[in-house]
Amino acid sequence: MAIMYPANIDYMESTPSEREFFYALKNQLNDEVYVFFSISWITFDNRTRKMSETDFLIFDPKYGYLVIEVKGGHQLHVENNVWYLHDDYGIRTLKKSPFDQAEQNMYYFLKYYQQQYNFSFKGTFGYMVAYPNFVVNNPEMLGNRPKSVTIDYSDMKDLNLKIREAFNFWRGHKEPYQRVFTEDQKQKFLKLVEKRVAISAAAGSLIQHKDKQLEIINRVQDNYITFLTNYNRVLVKGGAGTGKTWIAIKYSNLQSRNGLTVLLTCKSIELSTMIKQHTDERVQVTSFAVLKSIDNSHNETPQVFYDVIVIDEGQDFNYDEIKFICSMLKNNTSKLYVFYDETQNVLNTKINFEEFIKEPPYVLRENLRNTMNIYQYATSKTNLGTDVITNPIIGPTPEIIQINTFNQLINKLEDLLNEMIIDEHVNSADITIIIDDKLSSNITLDCIGQYTLTEEIQTIPGEIRKFTTSRFKGLESSVVFYIRPQKSYPNYDYVAYTRAKYYLYEVIYDGK
């Protein structure tokens, strides 16, 4: 059984023919073969943003890689070099020959490899077109290519043989002499593809797939909320990225629309700023420090009372602070919801909710934020959050960079930022630099190259967010540069690692 990325495609936008082909490859190819589905990337043609995609990329360590374009329907015909696809909805004109499209995508990965590593790809490379639903018996439908690079319905029961045949064709076609494809080159190519997936996601090319996943997530979260609204006092526990804050926001909006007065509070000013952007204007959203200064008015008893109080990042609150918040409930039937994660208790607060909420917590276990690689990296490095189920979206293993001097730090960060923003078209607003709290006093940065660093949640073009670990807790970023000393606390590392959705650089620097 092949190694599939992602492991399943239920959450992704895919056609019936793509799904059929995906599972056929999964079940028929050998277990050392990697299959990547729907790799996207962004290029600019005359300053016009262009989205490109390959349906499948197959990597076999014995050979190299093939890109495959899949076409569904039940018939194709070609007139004057224009390709027409017949399906259940009629006849659709294709933008170009599927063979030309596959060939173009093949060269993209070849060029990308050479750009990244400054040497040519030594393995076999080629392309194919697959028609899973019908037999190809017209030479014109082969695009003037040999049958070896075409998969049709008659080949679907032995894809392992067909893929091997294609590799052998391309090896003989392009390589009359044997080239050495080393283990290092194989690992570099795999890393390259994983990087391409993650950076493309950070640059927005996975928006459609993420929207599909979010539809599923929204349904699950809505079911949670429907269930939990039957209770007045609720604890919700979950690891990083399990959707606690979003459920808190949705629940608060729901109760506000029902005409109840709602308070949503947390310790972090930055998190409360983000939450305000997603809540109904009638929901009172404020950090705890501001809440005390406004509602306490220097008195021991609060001046404002609420039907519903929601506490996010509840592990940050001590007994007296929870008690004060509870005193703002209107009466004994008012609702109190607390969302928390013990593994993110970077303030070392003694957590004690038992007096206020008698029932045991409801537990969220599925990570919805990070790629599988980032979350597995976080748990392996810290041994925290190991009970959380990882996200099926893949990405590269986080990169570890050892830095010795401050000048090296600045130069390396500038190079990586230029690669992300200029070369890969990632928006600067989707990048965050996180600095370990105990290292932050040794790193005073206002800018890196042409990029201004800011401690504002909302940025303008050319700005990069910069926060300490404790201040960015509860938030997320597509790309994270985490700067930490050689010796750091596991719970701080866990928080910092899990802020990164798609790409994580771990920069180890002791402030010299």
176-215 in b/e form (b: 16+ CB < 10 A) is eeeeebeeebbeebbebbbbbbbbbbbbbbbeebbebbee
pLDDT at 65: 96
pLDDT at 508: 96
The pTM of the full predicted model, rounded to 2 decimals, is: 0.79
* Contact (CB, 8 A) for 265 and 276: no
pLDDT at 141: 64
Give the Cα separation of 21 and 2 in Å (integer).
Answer: 13
State the DSSP string of 257-306: HTT--EEEEES-HHHHHHHHTTS-TTSEEEEHHHHIIIIITTSSS-S--B
What are the boundaries of each domain within the chain?
Answer: 3-203, 209-364, 372-509
* Contact (CB, 8 A) for 227 and 219: no
**Tokens encoding 8:** 């399943």
Output the CATH code of domain 372-509: 3.40.50.300
Average pLDDT by consecutive 10-residue portion of the chain (512 residues)?
A: 84 83 95 91 71 90 95 78 77 83 93 90 93 80 80 93 94 65 91 81 57 64 82 94 92 95 96 95 94 64 85 95 94 95 89 88 90 93 94 82 94 94 88 94 89 94 95 94 96 96 92 68
pLDDT at 177: 52
Q: Which residue, chain included where needed, has tokens 């928080």? A: 495
Q: Tell me if domain 209-364 and domain 372-509 are identical in fold.
A: yes
**What class, spelled out in words, does domain 209-364 have in CATH?**
alpha beta
pLDDT at 444: 84
